[in-house]
Amino acid sequence: VHDNVAYALQVTGGTRRDIRDKVPDILRLTGLSTKLHNYPDQLSGGEQQRVSVARAFVNHPPLLLADEPTGNLDPETSIGIMQLLYRINRAGTTMIVATHDNVMVDKMRRRVIELREGRVVRDERAGRYRLDESTREFAARLRSDPPSDPLTW
Protein backbone atom coordinates (compact mmCIF):
# COMPACT_ATOMS: atom_id res chain seq x y z
CA VAL A 1 0.00 0.00 0.00
CA HIS A 2 2.76 2.43 0.95
CA ASP A 3 4.70 1.85 -2.28
CA ASN A 4 1.53 2.07 -4.37
CA VAL A 5 0.72 5.53 -3.01
CA ALA A 6 4.38 6.63 -3.00
CA TYR A 7 4.61 5.79 -6.70
CA ALA A 8 2.28 8.68 -7.54
CA LEU A 9 4.71 11.05 -5.83
CA GLN A 10 7.78 9.47 -7.43
CA VAL A 11 6.51 9.79 -11.01
CA THR A 12 5.63 13.45 -10.47
CA GLY A 13 9.06 14.35 -9.14
CA GLY A 14 8.39 14.00 -5.43
CA THR A 15 11.41 13.75 -3.18
CA ARG A 16 12.04 11.09 -0.55
CA ARG A 17 11.08 13.68 2.02
CA ASP A 18 7.76 14.30 0.22
CA ILE A 19 7.09 10.57 0.30
CA ARG A 20 8.07 10.27 3.97
CA ASP A 21 5.82 13.22 4.91
CA LYS A 22 2.82 12.81 2.63
CA VAL A 23 2.21 9.07 2.36
CA PRO A 24 1.50 8.48 6.08
CA ASP A 25 -0.82 11.52 6.12
CA ILE A 26 -2.86 10.36 3.14
CA LEU A 27 -3.05 6.82 4.52
CA ARG A 28 -4.45 8.22 7.78
CA LEU A 29 -6.99 10.30 5.85
CA THR A 30 -8.13 7.25 3.89
CA GLY A 31 -8.19 4.95 6.93
CA LEU A 32 -5.36 2.78 5.63
CA SER A 33 -2.57 3.53 8.09
CA THR A 34 -2.77 -0.02 9.49
CA LYS A 35 -2.43 -1.49 5.98
CA LEU A 36 0.90 0.20 5.24
CA HIS A 37 2.75 -3.01 4.31
CA ASN A 38 -0.14 -4.97 2.80
CA TYR A 39 -0.29 -6.15 -0.81
CA PRO A 40 -3.38 -5.69 -3.00
CA ASP A 41 -4.49 -9.31 -2.61
CA GLN A 42 -4.54 -8.79 1.16
CA LEU A 43 -7.06 -5.94 0.92
CA SER A 44 -10.84 -5.90 0.61
CA GLY A 45 -12.47 -4.28 -2.42
CA GLY A 46 -13.23 -1.15 -0.41
CA GLU A 47 -9.65 -0.94 0.84
CA GLN A 48 -8.35 -1.31 -2.71
CA GLN A 49 -10.66 1.50 -3.77
CA ARG A 50 -9.35 3.69 -0.94
CA VAL A 51 -5.77 2.99 -2.07
CA SER A 52 -6.78 4.27 -5.51
CA VAL A 53 -8.23 7.41 -3.95
CA ALA A 54 -5.11 7.90 -1.81
CA ARG A 55 -2.84 7.53 -4.84
CA ALA A 56 -4.95 10.00 -6.82
CA PHE A 57 -5.09 12.56 -4.00
CA VAL A 58 -1.56 12.36 -2.58
CA ASN A 59 -0.40 15.21 -4.85
CA HIS A 60 -3.43 17.34 -3.86
CA PRO A 61 -4.68 17.92 -7.42
CA PRO A 62 -7.10 20.78 -8.02
CA LEU A 63 -9.46 18.34 -9.80
CA LEU A 64 -10.16 14.66 -9.18
CA LEU A 65 -12.24 12.56 -11.59
CA ALA A 66 -13.78 9.45 -10.04
CA ASP A 67 -15.30 7.05 -12.58
CA GLU A 68 -17.78 4.70 -10.85
CA PRO A 69 -16.01 4.91 -7.46
CA THR A 70 -18.67 2.76 -5.79
CA GLY A 71 -18.95 0.16 -8.53
CA ASN A 72 -18.84 -3.44 -7.24
CA LEU A 73 -18.85 -2.33 -3.59
CA ASP A 74 -21.39 -3.14 -0.91
CA PRO A 75 -23.61 -0.26 0.31
CA GLU A 76 -21.68 0.33 3.55
CA THR A 77 -18.32 0.45 1.77
CA SER A 78 -19.82 2.71 -0.90
CA ILE A 79 -20.87 5.19 1.78
CA GLY A 80 -17.33 5.17 3.18
CA ILE A 81 -15.83 5.88 -0.25
CA MET A 82 -18.26 8.74 -0.88
CA GLN A 83 -17.57 10.19 2.58
CA LEU A 84 -13.86 10.11 1.76
CA LEU A 85 -14.45 11.88 -1.57
CA TYR A 86 -16.60 14.43 0.25
CA ARG A 87 -13.77 15.14 2.73
CA ILE A 88 -11.34 15.57 -0.16
CA ASN A 89 -13.79 18.00 -1.76
CA ARG A 90 -14.08 19.95 1.50
CA ALA A 91 -10.26 20.20 1.53
CA GLY A 92 -10.45 22.18 -1.72
CA THR A 93 -10.27 19.62 -4.52
CA THR A 94 -13.02 19.79 -7.14
CA MET A 95 -14.63 16.37 -7.54
CA ILE A 96 -16.27 15.05 -10.69
CA VAL A 97 -17.95 11.73 -10.01
CA ALA A 98 -19.35 9.72 -12.91
CA THR A 99 -21.76 7.12 -11.56
CA HIS A 100 -24.87 5.08 -12.16
CA ASP A 101 -25.32 4.59 -8.39
CA ASN A 102 -28.73 6.25 -8.05
CA VAL A 103 -28.97 5.50 -4.32
CA MET A 104 -25.68 7.27 -3.62
CA VAL A 105 -26.59 10.26 -5.80
CA ASP A 106 -29.93 10.61 -4.01
CA LYS A 107 -28.28 10.40 -0.57
CA MET A 108 -25.51 12.90 -1.34
CA ARG A 109 -27.83 15.59 -2.77
CA ARG A 110 -24.92 17.37 -4.41
CA ARG A 111 -24.75 19.05 -7.80
CA VAL A 112 -25.90 16.69 -10.56
CA ILE A 113 -25.07 17.28 -14.20
CA GLU A 114 -26.75 14.82 -16.55
CA LEU A 115 -25.28 14.20 -19.97
CA ARG A 116 -27.10 12.60 -22.87
CA GLU A 117 -25.34 11.94 -26.17
CA GLY A 118 -22.52 14.26 -25.10
CA ARG A 119 -24.78 17.19 -24.21
CA VAL A 120 -25.74 18.62 -20.84
CA VAL A 121 -29.48 18.06 -20.42
CA ARG A 122 -29.74 18.85 -16.71
CA ASP A 123 -27.73 20.76 -14.11
CA GLU A 124 -29.19 20.84 -10.59
CA ARG A 125 -27.52 22.23 -7.48
CA ALA A 126 -28.89 19.61 -5.04
CA GLY A 127 -29.97 17.10 -7.62
CA ARG A 128 -31.32 13.62 -7.54
CA TYR A 129 -30.80 10.71 -9.88
CA ARG A 130 -33.70 10.40 -12.30
CA LEU A 131 -34.51 7.67 -14.74
CA ASP A 132 -36.32 9.24 -17.64
CA GLU A 133 -38.23 7.27 -20.26
CA SER A 134 -35.32 7.12 -22.70
CA THR A 135 -33.05 5.71 -19.99
CA ARG A 136 -35.64 3.07 -19.11
CA GLU A 137 -35.97 2.13 -22.77
CA PHE A 138 -32.20 1.90 -23.13
CA ALA A 139 -31.93 -0.30 -20.02
CA ALA A 140 -34.67 -2.59 -21.34
CA ARG A 141 -32.86 -2.86 -24.66
CA LEU A 142 -29.63 -3.78 -22.90
CA ARG A 143 -31.42 -6.58 -21.03
CA SER A 144 -33.04 -7.96 -24.19
CA ASP A 145 -31.43 -10.54 -26.43
CA PRO A 146 -29.25 -8.98 -29.14
CA PRO A 147 -30.44 -9.43 -32.73
CA SER A 148 -28.77 -12.01 -34.94
CA ASP A 149 -27.05 -9.23 -36.91
CA PRO A 150 -25.11 -7.19 -34.32
CA LEU A 151 -24.41 -4.42 -36.84
CA THR A 152 -28.09 -3.44 -36.93
CA TRP A 153 -28.55 -3.48 -33.18
- Name the residue ranges covered by the structural domains of the chain: 2-108
**pLDDT the model gives residue 153:** 44
Q: How far is CA 40 from CA 45, 59, 67, 87, 92, in A?
A: 9, 21, 20, 24, 29
The pLDDT of residue 129: 83
d(C-alpha 90, C-alpha 132), whole Å:
31
What is the pLDDT, as a whole number, of residue 70?
87
Q: What's the pTM value of the predicted model, to 2 decimals?
A: 0.72
Listed as ranges, residues in the chain with pLDDT below 50 are 150-153
- Write down the architecture of domain 2-108 according to CATH: 3-Layer(aba) Sandwich (3.40)
